[in-house]
Structures are given as structure tokens and as C-alpha cells.
Amino acid sequence: MSIKKLLCLAASTLLTSAAFANAVPASGAAETAKPQAARLSPMAYGQTQWIMLGSPVPEGWVITRSTGNQNEITDTRGASYTQQLSVMLGSPVPQDWVVIRSTGTMNVIYYTKGAQLGAEVSVMLGSPTPSGWVVIRSTGNMNTLHNLNGSSYGSEITVMLGSPTPTDWVVIRSGNNNNVIHYVKGAPLGTEISVMLGSPIPDGWVVVRATGTMNTLYNLNGSRYASEITVMLGSPIPADWVVIRSGNNNNVIHYTKGAPAGTEISVMLGSPVPAGWVVVRSTGNMNVIRYLGK
């Protein structure tokens, strides 16, 4: 075979090998070519997103604009105390925000978290009232809210009749479209307080007497294992207490927290059964419950 023919054959072989290499990529190249999942940056206060009109609005987001079949939503998480934002009238109002003004199709909302004890803010009548705030005045279409977060035991304040009563506050007097409320958190074990019949009853308190329009509440927070007390039939039964006897419009309740594993107690059929306890026997109107331990 001539030298010229040999050269032509070699060139043909090289071209064929190159074409094959391009047609079938190496396994390493194939791995590199796989599509990668998109990585989204975590959202922060003020970031926006367009959504369809029928879409739910996630917690902490508000509707700031609407056009055609789309709403623009804005993330309010991470806001600072006193920040304000204009939102559409139909927008949700997130936790700790209040409506301070309304203009046309927009509400101006205001962030209250971080306010000092005693801070006040004027809000529209339909505005939410954040946890720990009360309504102390009402004029025209506005309410004045007052911040009770951070209060001390024994504090009292006069609020409007329609005001919410925050956790650990009770109503001690009522009159002239107002209620006087009293803060009970931090009360020693055994403290008693007279409250209006419609007053909330804080966790760990029971009704021990009722006269006319008043109930006498008794604080059981801080009780020891096996403590017992007689309460009114309509009294709440706090966590870890059981009803062991009933009669004469009263229940006798017994404190179970701190019981050794295997302890058994006879309780009334309607008694709560605390966490970790099971019913092992039933006779007449009584159940026997046993503590299985943690």
C-alpha cells in the first residue's frame, strides 16, 4: 500500500473516533449536565411576591397591590416596633399589627411588638387588638389601646366593657360601661380574690365560693403532691388535679403531680385523667386510675 493511501486511512480513523466521542459523552460529563434544583433565598421583611387572586396568603404576609388577576404580597416578618405599611382593604392583618388609618381602598397598619408597658396607640374600630393590649377609650371610629405586657402582680386598670381581658387578668368590678381588671400572675399559693361572675378564670385558679354576682377564686399554682381542696361544682379543674368526691354542690379535688409510679387513686367517673395516668378499674360511679410514670 502506498504512503498516500496509509495517510488517508489514518485520517479517516481519527475523524470517526472524534465523532463517536461527541455522540456518546463520558459518564462524568453526563453527571455535570443534570439540571440543578433552584435555591431560593430566605424571605425577609419587605420582600414581595405576585400571586393569583384565589391563592391563600401565607402567615405574616399582606396584600399591598392588586392588578388584573394578580395580587402583590409583602412579607412583614422581621418588622421593627412602630413600622407602618399600606395594605389593601381585604388584606389579612398579621399578629401584633393594628390598623391606624383607612383611606379609600387601603389600610395603614402599624407594628406594636416591642412597645413598653403603658404604651398607647389609636386604632380603627375594626382593628385587631394584639395579645396583652386592652381598649381604654373609644371616640368616634377610633379606639385607644393600652399595652399591659410586662405588668406586675396586683396591677389594676379600667378598660372598656368590650375590651378583651388578657391572660392572667380578672374582672373585679364593673360599671359605667367599664370593667376594672386585676393582674394575678405571681400571686402566692392560697391567694383569694373576688371576681365578677363573667370574669375569666386564669390557669391554676379555682372557684371556692359564689355570692350574688361574685365568685371567690383561689390560687392553686405551686401546690404539693396529694393536696386537696373543696371547689364549686362549676369550677374549672386545673391540670394534674382529679375529682375524688362530689356532693352538696361541691367537688373535692386532689393534686396528682409528684406521685410515684404505680400510685393508684379512686376518682369520680367524670374526673379528668392526667397525662401519664390510666384507668385500670371501674366500680359504680368511680374509676381507679394508676400512674405509669414518665
Report domain extents, the chain. 233-294
CA distances from 19 to 124, 200, 212, 286 (A): 75, 84, 100, 89
3-state secondary structure labels for all residues of 42-82? CCCCCCEEEEECCCCCCCCEEEEEEECCEEEEEECCCCCCC
**Pair 97, 109: CB distance under 8 Å:** yes
**Pair 280, 288: CB distance under 8 Å:** yes
Nearest to 119 by CA among 88, 87, 81: 81
- Going by their DSSP bridges, the two strands 61-67 and 84-88 should be labelled as unpaired
Residue pLDDT tens, the chain, 294 long: 443 443 333 344 433 444 433 444 444 444 444 444 434 455 579 999 999 999 999 999 999 999 999 999 999 999 999 999 999 999 999 999 999 999 989 999 999 999 999 999 999 999 999 999 999 999 999 999 999 999 999 999 999 999 999 999 999 999 989 999 999 999 999 999 999 999 999 999 999 999 999 999 999 999 999 999 999 999 999 999 999 999 989 999 999 999 999 999 999 999 999 999 999 999 999 999 999 987
Q: What integer pLDDT is reported at residue 41 of this predicted model?
A: 52
d(CA 207, CA 230): 9
Q: Half-sphere exposure of 168 toward its Cβ, with a 13 Å CA cutoff?
A: 17
**Phi-psi category of residue 114: left, alpha or beta, with phi > 0 → left and psi -120 to 50 → alpha:** left
d(CA 45, CA 54): 23
Beta-carbon contacts of residue 293 (< 8 Å; ≥ 6 apart): 261, 262, 276
**Pair 209, 232: CB distance under 8 Å:** yes
Q: What integer pLDDT is reported at residue 112 of this predicted model?
A: 98
State the CB neighbour count (10 A cutoff) for residue 204. Answer: 21
